[in-house]
Amino acid sequence: MKRVLTAVAAATTALLTLSACGGSSDPLANQPGGDAAPSDTIAIGSANFPESTLLAEIYAGALEAKGVKVERKLSLGSRETYYAGLQDGSIDLIPEYTGVLLVHVNKLAGKDDTAESTEDEVYTALRSALPDTLTVLAKSTAENKDAVVVTRAFATENNLKTIEDLAKLGPVVFGGPPEFQQRGDGLPGLAKDYDLQIKEYRSLDVGGPLTVEALKTGNVQAADLFTTDPAIETNDFVALEDPKSNFAAQNVVPLINKAKATDTVKTTLDAVSAKLTTEALIELNAKLAGPTKPNAATVAKEWLAQAGV
């Protein structure tokens, strides 16, 4: 079995600013910490990228339709920031990705060649690794991984199909979010698995317009983007194959405070996960990035109606 490494969940896309996807204009307004929500209310958080905000709105809308009271605490930042809120009880529910969450809670995951790699193996290991106060509900088939992305012209010029091919070129200029430099499946993992050498790392954004523009203009030769990002298809970018599974299974899953996981909550969120696919995520992200720039709540409401959840 191949090893599992982290992925930036930070799951995605496109060409939106944080404010356009429902984030607060005050970046400190929704920081985790403080009082827990009342026992009959679920405090729902999200990371600070559009796909996470969208998924949180989907969870919130589905629960509200079943009469569950919710409190939104969106765009909290990276996992390193919001996970503390789950532990102190100020956040009850957040959309997550199985592989990266497993490594976050179990720092030994992915350290050898016998660790979990398949979707079910990662999910089972994650359920066992979480603290007693937290659990994950049913996972969806929807998956969003990090990918090493290059332009079509650069791939053609250098005959690139895999990350291994890229590594053979020698040191490259690479772009992505700041945390990609330290995370296990970021630069450290790429160096370990592929001996990818970095000439310069340009700290940009989480699967956003800065990274896309840097690729388009040639300011970076390769970059970290998410597999559900419509910008890959829109710009005819190439996501290089990852034959050594540096980026492991990353299924979307609700991470929730056990005390708030009532039968109604579990049934409702399991129904959402049953309908959510990778293809649906790509389409939803494309809507968020569309010309009218709808907010995440509107896109979530439309999807819930179409999905019959």
| Boundary residue ending a domain (184, 218, 239) | 239
Residues 117 and 266 in one domain: yes
Residues 231 and 88 in one domain: no
Residues 30 and 114 in one domain: yes
- Provide φ and ψ at 172, rounded to 5°: -125, 160
Helix (H, G, I), strand (E, B) or coil at 79: helix
Confidence band, pLDDT 50/70/90 cuts, at residue 217? very high
Q: Within a domain: residue 153? A: yes
Residues 41 and 97 in one domain: yes
Among the listed residues 50, 29, 87, the one whose alpha carbon sits nearest the alpha carbon of residue 209: 50
What is the reported pLDDT for 15?
27
Confidence band, pLDDT 50/70/90 cuts, at residue 78? confident
Rounded Cα distance, 239 and 45, in Å:
30
What are 289-298's contacts with CB under 8 Å, separation 24+? 289/13, 289/14, 289/15, 289/16, 289/50, 289/230, 289/231, 293/16, 293/20, 295/20, 295/21, 295/22, 296/21, 296/22, 296/50, 296/53, 296/54, 296/56, 296/57, 297/22, 297/57, 297/61
Q: Which of the two residues, 271 and 38, has the higher pLDDT score?
A: 271
Residues 218 and 260 in one domain: no
Q: Which of the two residues, 19 and 295, has the higher pLDDT score?
A: 295
How far from the centroid of its chain's Cα atoms is residue 220's Cα? 22
- Position 110 pLDDT exceeds 70: no
Among the listed residues 104, 22, 10, the one whose alpha carbon sits nearest the alpha carbon of residue 57: 22
Sheet (strand 237-239) strand order:
198-203, 172-176, 222-226, 146-151, 237-239
| Boundary residue ending a domain (207, 239, 271) | 239
Domain span including residue 270 = 19-143+248-307
Question: Per residue, what are the HEC states of 17-68?
Answer: CCHHHCCCCCCCCCCCCCCCCCCCEEEEECCCCHHHHHHHHHHHHHHHHCCC
Residues 225 and 88 in one domain: no
- Provide φ and ψ at 203, rounded to 5°: -75, 115
**Mean pLDDT, the chain, whole residue set:** 87
Residues 177 and 163 in one domain: yes
| Boundary residue ending a domain (239, 259, 294) | 239
Confidence band, pLDDT 50/70/90 cuts, at residue 270? very high
Q: Within a domain: residue 267? A: yes
What is the reported pLDDT for 267?
98
Q: Which of the two residues, 193 and 185, has the higher pLDDT score?
A: 193
What is the reported pLDDT for 132?
96
Q: For residue 212, what is the enclosing H or E element?
A: helix 209-217
Kindly report the CATH number assigned to the domain that includes residue 36: 3.40.190.10
Q: Within a domain: residue 2? A: no
Q: Answer whether 32's CB lies under 8 Å from 76's CB.
A: yes
Q: Are strands 93-97 and 172-176 parallel, antiparallel or unpaired?
A: unpaired
Confidence band, pLDDT 50/70/90 cuts, at residue 34? low
Residues 24 and 135 in one domain: yes
Residues 217 and 253 in one domain: no
Q: Looking at the 3D structure of the chain, how many domains does it have? A: 2
What is the reported pLDDT for 23?
34
- Position 9 pLDDT exceeds 70: no
What is the reported pLDDT for 1?
36
| pTM for this entry | 0.76
Q: Which of the two residues, 113 and 76, has the higher pLDDT score?
A: 76
Q: Within a domain: residue 5? A: no
Residues 115 and 127 in one domain: yes
- Position 101 pLDDT exceeds 60: yes
Helix (H, G, I), strand (E, B) or coil at 269: helix
Kindly report the CATH number assigned to the domain that includes residue 220: 3.40.190.120
Q: Which residue has the tokens 């929704």?
A: 30
Residues 138 and 214 in one domain: no
- Position 12 pLDDT exceeds 80: no
Q: Within a domain: residue 206? A: yes
Residues 220 and 258 in one domain: no
Give the tens place of pLDDT for each residue, 148-166. 999 999 999 999 999 999 9
